[in-house]
Amino acid sequence: MILSTTDFIQGYEIDAYLGIVTAEVVYGSNALRDFFAGIRDIIGGRTASYERVFERGQQDAIGELERRAASLGSNAVIGITVNTGTIKLDETGVLLLITATGTAVRLRA
pLDDT digits over 14-25, tens only?
999 999 999 999
Q: Are 62 and 100 in contact (CB under 8 A)?
A: yes
What is the pTM assigned to this prediction? Answer: 0.78
Q: Which domains does the chain have, with CATH numbers?
A: 2-108 (3.30.110.70)
Q: Which amino acid is at 93?
A: G
pLDDT digits over 47-96, tens only?
666 778 788 999 999 999 999 999 999 999 999 999 988 887 777 677 88
pLDDT digits over 68-77, tens only?
999 999 999 9
Q: How far apart are alpha carbons 104 and 64 in whole angstroms?
A: 13
**Closest residue by Cα to residue 98 from 6, 37, 23, 19:** 23
Q: How far apart are alpha carbons 52 and 98 in whole angstroms?
A: 13
pLDDT above 60 (res 37): no
